[in-house]
Structure 1
Amino acid sequence: MSRIDYFRDPAAPKANSVVPSVTAVVRDEQGNLLLIHKTDNGLWALPGGGHDAGESISQTVVREVEEETGIKVVVLSIVGIYTDPQHVMKYDDGEVRQQFSICFRARPVGGALRTSEESKEVRWVSPTDLETLTIHPSMRLRISHGLDAARKVPYIG
């Protein structure tokens, strides 16, 4: 299913749903960041996805990262909570979802890179190369917060 992201766009459709979701800032031993090239909107992003009933939020992080990238992780900490009502995603089926994403830091513990239905490309990216990729502004904010080692308090916004 494809989607269109609207960010601070006065012409954006009104949200009709909110789905708790997660993203993960995963860095390897060299400091590279795990990113996916998404199939639904063609943008680069942190791995993540929707929270399922019956699982803890940390289980959601572990499951989603492995599903989308093949990499197994352990959750380390919270980066922030991202709920900007001016960021909505319109899906083919008529759903217009308001952003509600909890971003975590996680450490890889195994697995091997692979794509999925949601990721047409998966790779470790040097933070110095992030500017060469097409990344949504709200995802860039999460990445910036996640890479900021001096940041001690989670973002709430």
Structure 2
Amino acid sequence: MRRATHRVDYWKDPAAPKPTSRKTSASVFVRDGHGRLLLLRRVDNGLWTIPTGGVKKGETVAQAGVRECREETGLDVEVTGLVGVFSTPEHVIAYLHDDEVLEVRQPINICLRATVVGGTLAPEPAEASEVRWVDPAELNAHPTHPAIMARITHGLRSDEPYLA
């Protein structure tokens, strides 16, 4: 039986494999009129995240963020600002197939603020098992990778862009 490619995230782990590549991704920090945050549960690791994905050739970071949000949550958003640029070398992602390392990526994420302009909240089964609006006071009940939580925390606490 052939096993699927999967990922392993490392955070502040001295035993993490060394990066072999860098890739830019876009994420969107979306809040509703009640201050709740748009989250989805990843199908590959069960953790909660904000809509996030790689920037494809021929698209801008903002276009990637809008596309990823639509693909993962069913919602159409409009970019309204910048949460920050997150590029710490303390976060690496290993992509494996049949336990063979294909790539070890040190991500560069550009997190954008956005607002909903249309669509219907619905998870894309290949991307998310659940999508929901979460009150910031309830974030601890939604297991989240530390790199994603850094984006969320900054987005909640500051209107000034994070640059690191």
What TM-score do the two structures reach when normalised by structure 1? 0.95
> Which residue does the alignment assign to 1:154?
161
For residue 41 of structure 1, report the CA deviation from its aligned partner: 2.0
For residue 147 of structure 1, report the CA deviation from its aligned partner: 1.4
Residue 134 (structure 1) aligned with residue 138 (structure 2): no
Coordinate RMSD, CA, aligned:
1.0
Aligned runs of 1:6-155 on 2, under 5 Å?
A: 6-93=10-97, 94-116=102-124, 117-148=126-157, 151-155=158-162
Deviations 1:32-59 (A, max 9, x none): 1100101122210010100011111111
Structure 2: 5+ residue stretches without partners:
none
For residue 90 of structure 1, report the CA deviation from its aligned partner: 0.8
C-alpha distance in 1, partners of 2:145/2:60? 27
* Structure 2 SS opposite 1:100: strand
What TM-score do the two structures reach when normalised by structure 2? 0.91
The structure with more strand, counted as a fraction of residues = 2
Deviations 1:117-153 (A, max 9, x none): 11111111111110111111111110011112xx242
C-alpha distance in 1, partners of 2:43/2:106? 20
C-alpha distance in 1, partners of 2:20/2:112? 26
Moved over 4 A (4+): none
Aligned amino acid, residue 96 of structure 1: V
C-alpha distance in 2, partners of 1:96/1:113? 33
Point out the structure with max Rg over C-alpha.
2
Deviations 1:63-114 (A, max 9, x none): 0100000010000101110111120011124211102100011000111111
Aligned length: 155
For residue 15 of structure 1, report the CA deviation from its aligned partner: 0.7
Structure 1: 5+ residue stretches without partners:
none
